[in-house]
Structure 1
Amino acid sequence: MGNITTIRSEVEKFMEDEKLSLSDLGRKTGLNVGTLSSIITGGKIMALNQLDRITALMKLPEGHFYDLYIQDNIAAAQPNWKRLKPFLFRCAEMNKLDFIQRIAGKLLDKVVYSPVLFDAAEELLQEGKKDAAAILYESVAVTEHSQHSERLALCQYRLFTIRLGDDQTKNLQAAAQFELYVERLDDIIQLDALKDLANVYRSLRKWDKVDKFAAQMGSKARRHYFAENRQKRGGEDPYAKLSRPLFVYVAYSDLLRGSACEERGESEQALEFISRYADLSWVKEYDEDTEHWKGLFLGWAKVNIYASKLSSGDFSALYDYVDYFEANKDEFLVSLLNVVDAANRFNVNIDRILLRFDSEIKSLGEQLKGTTIYDKRFKAERCSRLLHELSNYYLQKGEYVTGFTYLLDSLQKSFAINNKTIIIKCVSLFESFRDYAASDTQAAYQILFKEMYQNEKNHRFALSSH
């Protein structure tokens, strides 16, 4: 018996049990009697809204017949996209991802569906339905893998952004996979893609990668910005789809490259890059958005000059730096990390500064709220590092209770984002001062590692189950 016959037979049984005529069914569902007749007696495939209305009337769970509905629509030699699209979106609303996976899988060998599946994925992503969109992007990528199309590269770009989360190991995998496709994107779209790649590697502290992709972004952005004829293509401004004004990609390239130099101990080069984005007199635009961005870069240049001096052991401007980031809360987390890191490396007492920001330090978790995915990931990494540096500072001073409190907090946050670098540093620091750890501190330390082990074990089991 065909699947549509199964649905039809259940509807017929319902009508018989409830003593309903086609007219009664039409009145209760709001459907045309002629349409119902074609479905019940003529074997016509019903539309999704018709199925949902009949299902609701039968007091069955929403989606009760979806499994049969998929089989019936996919069985056709040329599946009807007008029926499948609303079904996909309904499944996304209901989070029935397995149904979306089944439909996408059935259409894999039909390249003709790639454009419409891609467009559907774009719509779903705009609506915030990332998991559903990812299934369609993956299907299109598989379908077009051998064609090396720009659509394939766009799918990989979207998947890259969707896959980013708190787990740094997974973020590294996502970035490494996307690297292979970034240069296949449209030249302008590449600017945001390169920015995103550089930002991810920045949060992972892969400074050579940061420098590489920031340099590529800067080179492309300069070429476009200083082109003699920046004409619109096809009557549209090709730069309108950028997430930031074009000049920002030039300046941001210098900022990222300066950060990479600073982290690699190349202070002179870092200062050279800082001087570039501190002076944006070459920018042609004068609108409000431009002035906003110019002000941001000027502030970043100022704070990074302070940080560069500290990094080289020059503490002459320490309190100017502190006053600046106290007045500019967005700079607090990174700036305080720079101060504590420098204090540890050069054995400088900063008790007065830490006391000054005691309440802010105790509420570091608030720093992660209300931020974008990139800001949150960057701040989470900095937060775990700051807590480790604070732990080191207090343990070296012999203030063991405070030191171990920060160490356990750093470990917990590092486990949450799978930051293996900080985990290893915390373990090394704990072992160096283990003899000074109270019994409850050692017990809490062991509990943290047991929880991490169990979480990893559960994660591996979940992966093996798929």
Structure 2
Amino acid sequence: MGGLQGTMHWSLRSEIERHRRECGYTLSKLGELTGINHGSLSEILNGNPPRAMTIGQLDALAAVFGREPGWLYELYTEECITEGRISRPRLIPYLVRCAEVGRKDCIEEVVPKLLDNPKNISTLFLVAEQLYESGKQKESVPFYQAVVDSEKDGHSDQFVMSQYRLFRAALGTNSEENGEAVIRFSPYRNRLPENYQLDALFQLARVCFALQKWKKSEQYADELRFLAETIYIHELDRLKRNKKSELPETERHLVFYYAIGHLFKGAALEMQGLYAQAKPYVQGYADLGWFELLDEVGHQEVEKFRVWAKANLYTLEVLAGNTSIIEEYADYLESLPTNEILAGLISIMISANMYQFCVDEILERFSSHIASFGQFKEAIGLDRHLQFRYQTAIYEFDKGRIERGIEETLRCLSLADLMNRYDDTLKCVALFEEYRQYASTTQVEQYRTIVTGKRAI
């Protein structure tokens, strides 16, 4: 046995042995408490050479000895890598556990050793996938990043998938970071397998919409519609020829991707003031009963988009200046969930500001919903909340209600600051400064707190 290997094994096992003696446990008792077979435990601690232990066994010993998770992990690496040989069955669970319990020091020690051999990149990818699939996106990031940094083949499955996983993990409420994530990932989107490509295009369209990059959102929505339709036609053709289904396994039903591609296309056109051009795309998801391959989930999606289409057709009418349907639209909004009410009220406020009509009764009618808009924490919800507050601020100023206008401006400014939305921040600052002379001491102080970087809300 090599000197270093022997020392490390002895160090790991001598620590375990020392704790066993301090606790006064026999091997039989220790085996009973840890659930490790007595014979196996004896071979692990006293074998010559000692039997390798699993990370789960080390965790069980730590728990019995009252030690914190991650105990002796720095000494465990020799169980996984000996004389340049790697035991993947022990190494992968070890690195997963290091990530779970926060032993970054151990990860940073092991990963460079692995990368001495390019074949081990696949091991890091498997670790990342295990973490990601178990809901630990943040913990998976360093491993995916190591794959991206080390893989020379930019077309390999693990490289492209790592780029996609990093993109998904990076998405949050910070607009600047979301924009950077789109730039990093978008060149690789067409290299993904079709099932992941559908999800990726949906996320790209969604994020670009939230970033107000309307042309980019249109582009990804077009790609998504085309891909979903291509897969749909291919699947119908296979079924007509009595062949086995080849529908890709996706996060959502295929009809969702087809419909959401239409939705983002129409929404992006709407945001550019192209209401007549947007209408056919909204009608494209208003009635998807013709869509075959629908199971129960698919039928639920069809119904959901039918409801959204009805609301969005109202929206286009209102934005185009048809104020006669405002009350009818408000009645319909009341039947929808809060996030859809928020989207509808933005359209009503934009229209009220554009065509100079009064919506005080509508604001009063939805006051309890408006009071709950602060619950939205995801990018699109925050963006909608910001747009609503900005339009409401303009509305209140136009109605001569200066104090309320200032209050709405401060709410909007705080949201823009939270999301790192510099353009919106500047718009809010300009709006506040226009009415600053009417602001109370408290409002001026609140404004100063936000713009100096100490968030008040």
Q: TM-score, normalised by structure 2?
A: 0.88
Corresponding residue number in structure 2 for 1:32: 38
Contact 1:5–1:43, Cα closer than 8 Å, also in 2: no
Corresponding residue number in structure 2 for 1:459: none
Corresponding residue number in structure 2 for 1:138: 145
Q: Deviations over 1:179-213 (max 9, x none)?
A: 01101011343112111110111111111111111
Structure 1 residues 388-407: aligned runs within 5 Å: 388-407=390-409
Counterpart check, 1:441 vs 2:450? no
Counterpart check, 1:356 vs 2:365? yes
Contact 2:222–2:265, Cα closer than 8 Å, also in 1: yes
Partners of 2:436 and 2:181 in 1: CA distance: 37
C-alpha deviation, 1:431, in angstroms: 1.0
Amino acid at match of 1:151: Q
Contact 2:201–2:224, Cα closer than 8 Å, also in 1: yes
In the alignment of these two chains, the number of paired residues is: 446
C-alpha deviation, 1:18, in angstroms: 6.7
Q: Deviations over 1:1-28 (max 9, x none)?
A: 6322322343455566677776676566
Moved more, 267-276 or 437-446: 267-276
* Runs (5+) with no aligned partner, structure 1: 370-375, 455-466
Corresponding residue number in structure 1 for 2:237: 229
Partners of 2:25 and 2:316 in 1: CA distance: 81
Contact 2:19–2:65, Cα closer than 8 Å, also in 1: yes
Counterpart check, 1:365 vs 2:367? no
Contact 1:191–1:249, Cα closer than 8 Å, also in 2: yes
Corresponding residue number in structure 2 for 1:425: 427
C-alpha deviation, 1:151, in angstroms: 2.2
* C-alpha distance 380-15 of structure 1, shift in aligned 2 (>3 A): closer
| Partner SS for 1:316 | helix
Amino acid at match of 2:143: L
Structure 1 residues 82-161: aligned runs within 5 Å: 82-161=89-168
Corresponding residue number in structure 1 for 2:320: 312
Corresponding residue number in structure 1 for 2:226: 219
C-alpha deviation, 1:152, in angstroms: 1.4
Q: Deviations over 1:21-75 (max 9, x none)?
A: 7667656655535653554463534332343344445544332311121256345
C-alpha deviation, 1:138, in angstroms: 1.9
Corresponding residue number in structure 2 for 1:296: 304
Q: Deviations over 1:365-405 (max 9, x none)?
A: 23x27xxxxxx221111001111211221123221222222
* C-alpha distance 397-130 of structure 1, shift in aligned 2 (>3 A): same
Partners of 1:46 and 1:423 in 2: CA distance: 56
Q: Deviations over 1:312-332 (max 9, x none)?
A: 222121111111111212420
Partners of 2:56 and 2:31 in 1: CA distance: 13
Contact 1:210–1:257, Cα closer than 8 Å, also in 2: yes
Q: Deviations over 1:395-426 (max 9, x none)?
A: 23221222222221222222222222321211
Partners of 1:282 and 1:131 in 2: CA distance: 41
Contact 1:160–1:174, Cα closer than 8 Å, also in 2: yes
What's the % identity of the aligned pairs?
31
C-alpha deviation, 1:353, in angstroms: 1.1
| Partner SS for 1:217 | helix
| Partner SS for 2:226 | helix
1:166 counterpart (148, 151, 173): 173
Contact 1:267–1:308, Cα closer than 8 Å, also in 2: yes
Counterpart check, 1:274 vs 2:282? yes
Corresponding residue number in structure 1 for 2:11: 6
Partners of 1:15 and 1:272 in 2: CA distance: 74
Corresponding residue number in structure 2 for 1:460: none
Corresponding residue number in structure 2 for 1:340: 349
* C-alpha distance 99-15 of structure 1, shift in aligned 2 (>3 A): closer
Contact 1:415–1:452, Cα closer than 8 Å, also in 2: no
* C-alpha distance 7-86 of structure 1, shift in aligned 2 (>3 A): same
Partners of 1:56 and 1:351 in 2: CA distance: 62
Q: Deviations over 1:228-252 (max 9, x none)?
A: 62369xx974425123332332232
* C-alpha distance 97-17 of structure 1, shift in aligned 2 (>3 A): closer
Amino acid at match of 1:391: A
Partners of 1:27 and 1:14 in 2: CA distance: 16
Amino acid at match of 1:262: E
Corresponding residue number in structure 2 for 1:241: 249
Moved more, 444-453 or 179-188: 444-453
Moved more, 11-20 or 266-275: 11-20
Q: TM-score, normalised by structure 1?
A: 0.86
Contact 2:27–2:41, Cα closer than 8 Å, also in 1: no
What root-mean-square deviation, in Å, do the aligned CA atoms of Structure 1 and Structure 2 show? 2.9
* Runs (5+) with no aligned partner, structure 2: none
